[in-house]
Chain A
Amino acid sequence: DVKVTQSSRYLVKRTGEKVFLECVQDMDHENMFWYRQDPGLGLRLIYFSYDVKMKEKGDIPEGYSVSREKKERFSLILESASTNQTSMYLCASSRGLAGGRYEQYFGPGTRLTVT
């Protein structure tokens, strides 16, 4: 079974703090994703990585950065947390783009509250 784990289920941070969210997958997947999910807005892609040290901006990258130094680990960084970044953050992984099937497997999510 594919397993995607996220470092925290719940996190409370103060405005202006630097926040690290970590994600680890154990299926040797090439692709990893960070989404945020907000009521009424659905899931929105923040960043996507298709290989170690490679990244692509998603739909809402502003205020976020990412790091992928190892294939199994993908980190999301909030350089200076703001209250509008309070959200549920979901990490996912999938196989590479060859083959026509792009199932994404999700972690349990991190509920981040910025006060």
Chain B
Amino acid sequence: TQLLEQSPQFLSIQEGENLTVYCNSSSVFSSLQWYRQEPGEGPVLLVTVVTGGEVKKLKRLTFQFGDARKDSSLHITAAQPGDTGLYLCLGGPYNFNKFYFGSGTKLNVKP
């Protein structure tokens, strides 16, 4: 059973389009992180959200934490080929030492 469900699993879009990736759970998390991973590399931290309802912006990326701290979304405006990668959400901790990654969204932005 996946504690954190990400959707969609795959996304292939043209440069300039907008997109939203979702990370959903039935459990409450004290914090949630978003990462981007390129092939053959480790995930790189993009943002942490801690407060329910929190919205954070990182250039063209907007991250939102749900009011109940059970879900989060990542919105990319005017996607660029450099945004291509695997996007992962990480929730935790849940019961002391349990950290859960979402299954990931593989994004491909075509020029």
Contact = CB atoms under 8 A, between A and B. Distances in A.
Given A42-B104, A102-B31, A103-B48, A111 B97 contact: no
Contacts of B97: 48, 50, 56
B43 A90 contact: yes
A31 B90 CA distance: 15
A104 B45 contact: yes
Given A42-B102, A42-B104, A43-B101, A101 B45 contact: no
Interface of B: 30-31, 33, 35, 40-45, 48, 50, 88, 90, 92-93, 96-97, 99, 101-104
Given A4-B42, A42-B104, 18 more contacts: A42-B101, A42-B103, A43-B88, A48-B97, A90-B43, A97-B96, A102-B30, A102-B31, A102-B33, A102-B92, A103-B48, A104-B90, A105-B45, A106-B43, A106-B44, A107-B42, A108-B41, A109-B41
Nearest to A50: B97
Interface residues of A, number: 23
A104 B99 contact: yes
A100 B33 CA distance: 12
Contacts of A27: none
- Residue from B33, B42, B96 having most chain A Cβ neighbours under 10 A: B42
Nearest 4 pairs of A and B residues by beta carbon: A106-B42, A43-B101, A42-B103, A56-B97
Contacts of B93: 97, 102
A100 B42 contact: no
